[in-house]
Amino acid sequence: MKPYKKHRMGRRGESGKRERPEVDHSLVADSNVLKHFASYATELDLKHDKYERIVKFSRDITIESKRIIFFLHSADKENSKHDLLKDADIRLRQLENTLFKSVGEELNGEDPYQFLRAYTSGLQEFVEACTFYQYLKFKKLEGWNCLQQTLKFNIDENSKEGCVNETSAKTCSVLMPPSEYVLGVADLTGELMRNCINCLGSGQFESCMETCAFVKEIYNGFLSVGNSGPKEFSRKLFTLKQSLHKMENACYTICVRGSEIPQNRLVDVLQDASEVFEEDEGFY
């Protein structure tokens, strides 16, 4: 036999139904619950402020990287190319030691993947500028790990306020996932296409052929990845194919109709022909 349970009897309202007993939901001002929520709010505010600071650094990185790329496009003569590449290398190192170092100090003691979207655009633009410089100087690209090593910095132990494990933090780094490097290389092909067309204007036909063959190798490498890449991979692969098509059309025009077209009109003819992009039955 079940033991008798005494039920709390609520008072009856005007309708005659029993009302639930009133419960005091008010919290004491110094309760532990409010203290925890106050600490959570402070932590979120600090992370949001840090995220916005990293976004601002990323914008500055994007702007400076675009300026370096534009600067590299002016390397059209061999006699001035050496000095130009030297100046571009200095600007890239300054970009690493100023803006990227500031991003690394912000990421010190944090999970970098939480803030990756804040600086992904600047990171991809920086990869594009570095790889464009590497191609113009060495005619090849260094690996992802080489660029990652350049984004590691030494910092002062007491220079960062509010840093976690401040006494043990002697170095900081900016995370560069391989996927971001691949997307930056995809953007590089657009600059190589422009460089190829510019070489035609100065009569550097062999350089145009060499650049086209290099982009073909990149395209074949991207095809081997398939649809397993990041979200933006398919869109950038389609743009890569368009750039390669324009370069192949330029090389075809040089080989077949180069003797028929004056050199001062060759670039205009290629630009008019590249406006019509025909789809083929190949892979994207």
Residue 229 domain flag: yes
Q: Are residues 108 and 182 in the same domain?
A: no
- Contact 247/219 with Cβ under 8 angstroms? no
pLDDT at 165: 47
Helix (H) or strand (E) holding 172: strand 171-173
Answer whether 107's CB lies under 8 Å from 175's CB: yes
What is the spatial distance between Cα 208 and Cα 242, in angstroms, rounded to a whole number? 16
Q: In this structure, are 270 and 209 located in the same domain?
A: yes
Q: Which residues contact 250 (CB under 8 A, 6 or more apart)?
A: 196, 197, 200, 208, 212, 270, 274
CATH of the domain at 142: 1.20.58.190
| Domain assignment present for 118 | yes
The H or E element spanning position 173 is: strand 171-173
Residue 281's CATH number: 1.20.58.200
- At 48, which amino acid appears? H
pLDDT of residue 284: 35
Parent domain of 60: 48-155
Same domain for 142 and 92, yes or no, is yes
**What's this model's pTM, rounded to 2 decimal places?**
0.78
Helix intervals (H) in the chain: 32-72, 78-95, 101-107, 116-138, 144-150, 178-201, 205-225, 233-257, 263-274
Q: Beta-carbon neighbour count of residue 64 at 10 Å? A: 20
52 annotated to a ligand binding site: no
**Ramachandran bin of 109, using left for φ above 0, alpha for ψ from -120 to 50, beta for the remaining angles:** left
Check whether residue 146 and residue 183 sit in a common domain: no
Is residue 128 a known part of a binding site?
Answer: yes
CA angle 197, 91, 194 (to 5 degrees): 10
Torsion sign across C-alpha atoms 226, 231, 232, 235? positive
In a domain, 139, yes or no: yes
What is the count of structural domains for the chain? 2
pLDDT in tens, the chain (284 residues): 555 555 555 555 555 666 666 655 555 566 788 888 888 888 899 999 999 999 999 999 999 999 999 999 987 666 578 889 999 999 999 999 999 999 999 999 899 999 999 999 999 999 999 999 999 999 999 989 999 999 999 876 655 444 444 444 588 999 999 999 999 999 999 999 999 888 877 778 888 899 999 999 999 999 888 767 677 888 899 999 999 998 988 888 777 765 566 655 665 655 555 554 444 434 33
Last residue of a domain, one of 155, 185, 200: 155
Residue 126 lies in a domain: yes
